[in-house]
Amino acid sequence: MRIIHWNIKHNSDKDRIISAIRKVAGHGDTIICLQEVTPAAKDTIINGLTDYGFARRSNYAYSLDYRHPSKFDGLNRSLGVLILCSFPMYIIDSN
């Protein structure tokens, strides 16, 4: 099993990120954790990986889907963590 943890920086080249993930995907079970992911970047990355099965809802989780920014959160609260799995995963509790 491969586990990849990557702080992609919110302004990184999304095509480069997708290309790097494609190089490791498909080589057995893989879990990829990406930090500093904007909602737009999440959509771009997931759409770029549809051929690898990551676009199925059971194969990814995005932290901002579980807790949306409140009026008291700073600007960094618009950045989330995206977890991609080559196999289905389930969030048991998000509290």
Other residues' Cβ atoms within 10 Å of the Cβ of residue 14? 19
**pTM for the predicted model, two decimal places:** 0.86
What tens-digit pLDDT sequence spans the chain (95 residues)?
Answer: 889 999 998 788 999 999 999 888 877 888 999 999 999 999 999 999 888 877 788 899 999 888 866 777 766 578 899 999 988 888 887 76
21 in Cβ contact with 85 (< 8 Å): no
Phi/psi at 85 (5° precision):
-125, 145
